[in-house]
Every structure is written in C-alpha cells, then in structure tokens.
Structure 1
Amino acid sequence: MFYATAQNAHGLAHDPFKAIVSPRPIGWIGSRAEAGSLNLAPYSFFNAISDTPKMVMFSSSGRKDSLRNIEETREFTANFVSFDIRDAMNLTSAPVPHGESEFALAGLTPVEGEFVRAPFVAEAYAALECKVTDIFQPKTLDGTLSENHVVIGQVVGIHIRDEAVRDGRFDMAKVRPVGRMGYMDYCDAGDVFELLRPRR
C-alpha cells in the first residue's frame, strides 16, 4: 500500500506512522515550576541527538506543564524508564491539574539534581540532568509553525544507580528499558544482543 500523508488516506483503523517509527525511547521528563511545584511526564518523541556534547531532545504536542516549567527555569531531567517501573510511568501520563505533582500521584521519590533544581526519579536506574539550549516550533513545508515544541537540552550530569552497572557497563539486560511503539503498545528491550561494526 501507499498513501500521501497530506490526505492521511491510509484506510486503516489507526494511523500507522508512530508504529512504523518505533520503538522510541521514552523521555520521562522531570521539571519544577518557578513557583516550586513539581511535574513528571512521559514523552515518546524523545532521543539523544549528540554525544559531544551530550544532548537530548523531546517534543511536546501543544503547551503542556513540562514545557511551561522548562520555559521558566531552562532546566529539566530525563529519567530512564525500566520495565519494573512501567506502571508508575504510565500513571504520570494522567491529565492532572497544573501544580499537582505526578511524583506523588505515582508514589515516586523526587530528588533535586546536583546542577539543576529540576527533580529526578530516585527509583529510576538512571537520570540525566539537562540545561536548555533551545526551544522552538518546527516549520512545516509551507513555512507555518507546527503545534509541536521541541526542547533541546545539554546533559550536565548523569545519575546511575550502582546496581545497574556490571563489568563497567550500564547493564541493559538488568535494567530492561521500555520503548514506546504505536497505538497503546510498548516493548521491553530486555533481550540484548551484540553486533560488532564491520572492519574494512
């Protein structure tokens, strides 16, 4: 099959786009409003974009609490979502009133960062402390701004729980990262295999 995205005439029960671009890591974004309230929310449009310097991005569809907080403070955390805390992550996606803490809602422990005031999840195997370098709305082909807001942050500190490290590596088989797929589907990346780069 083929369909033009402008018409979105795929003829399927559900749009397949997000299922095709998968699995996607989950950006579990922790932030603090200037007034002090805490926020924690999962974003499936999230990824690392650079190693030197270390940078990540996430995209918010519309103006949500995370975006508002980060615009005020210019800092956030990105928390690692593992299989054992998947239900807590899902709880933090609930639409709660501004100022109500998703940490409390999901029974999670907020910890203030070393370099940022934004909270990270104590129960997460790893967390990135980030300071904002850019926030923008990407343009469409005709030059209009999309409704999405892209946040780019430089990683200034990394927390890793000791039990997640084995033989000098972040142990992917132990931490079992959760990925977002299409529809309401997620995947557990606990089955790990290694592929060495070819030499010429």
Structure 2
Amino acid sequence: MTNYIVGVTGGIGCGKTTLMQCFADLGIQAVDADIVARQVVMPGTPCLQAIQQQFGSDILLQNGELDRAALRQRVFSHSADKAWLEQLLHPAIRQALLQQLAQLTSPYALLVAPLLLENGLNTYVNRVLVIDLPEPLQLQRAMARDNASEQQIRAIMAAQISRQDRLAAADDIVHNDTSIAALQTQVARLHTFYLQQAGLTP
C-alpha cells in the first residue's frame, strides 16, 4: 500500500489527464475521481438503482446505462434533486476512491479530482498539486476538447472553486501554458521531491 498521496486538481481544460500521464511515465499510479464517479453508477450498482427509483427509467439509456446528459440537465435546474444526488454519490465515490488508493503500490500515488477541494478530498492527501492555466487559455482548450460553447464551459468554471482560491490551497503548482516538454520538466522535479517526502514517511 502507498502511504504518501498527492492530490491533483485543476479547473476544466487545465490538463489533469496529461499531467497524470507524465507521472505514469515515471511509474506513479493514480486514482481518477472522474472514472470512479462513472464506476459507482454502472448497471447493477446500488447507486444506479437508487437513481432509477428517484428519477424513473427514462434516466437510463437503452443499454441500461445511466443517461448522464439527461441526469445533468435534470439536476442542474433543480437544487433539491442536485442535493439528493450529491448525498447519494459523494459517500460512494469517496469510499471507492479510498479502496482503490489502498491497492496502489507505487512509491507515492496521485488522487486526481477536479473537485478535490470543493468535496473535501484534500483531507485524504499529504500534498495538493494544482495544474494551472490562465483563464482565457483554459476556456479555449476546454471548448476545443469538449466541442462545447463558451457559455457551457463558463458555467462549469463558475461551479468550480475560483482559480485564486485553488492556487491559495496549493502546496505545489504546475504551469501548463507552454509545451508538454515544459510540463515534463516540472513533473520530473516534483517526482524527485515527492520521492524524498515519501521516504520520510514511516
């Protein structure tokens, strides 16, 4: 089991997946909260059954999987539904994250979560690493990646913690506004530091 956990976060489009790959190339394992969030609502899970009971079968796709777009639309405009869904999913996601982290074996591990700070997941990590971009570039990259409108991306950004607050909560910051090579250089430096930190843990 890995004893030293680095929490990774950043706004939409900042490059968390690319950052995770840079660490993976160095042999560091990660748990991705976005993937776990999808796993806890797979067909046959208690969470999906509860969602179906609450919102009806039209919240499912024909193959029995959750229609995430329909659910997002439903809860975005109904605060009571959103609160109900969060109460159901957050504990389930948290439990699954911790179980998966406990199975990792690299010298230290990453917990990657867009809402690391908002959902209090930073209480489970030793350090917080923020990947950062100037907001105009963040907007541009997220729109291109998700093929989404500026309005949609701005709404997601508004729902996340502000860039200023995120940076204030960071122990370490990686700047992703130039090249992959520049990102890899920053990661290599942090990797050495994290290995030292992990070596100091009993």
How high is the TM-score relative to the length of structure 2?
A: 0.23
Q: Which has the higher contact order (CA 8 A, sep 6+)?
A: 2
Higher helix share: 2
How high is the TM-score relative to the length of structure 1?
A: 0.23
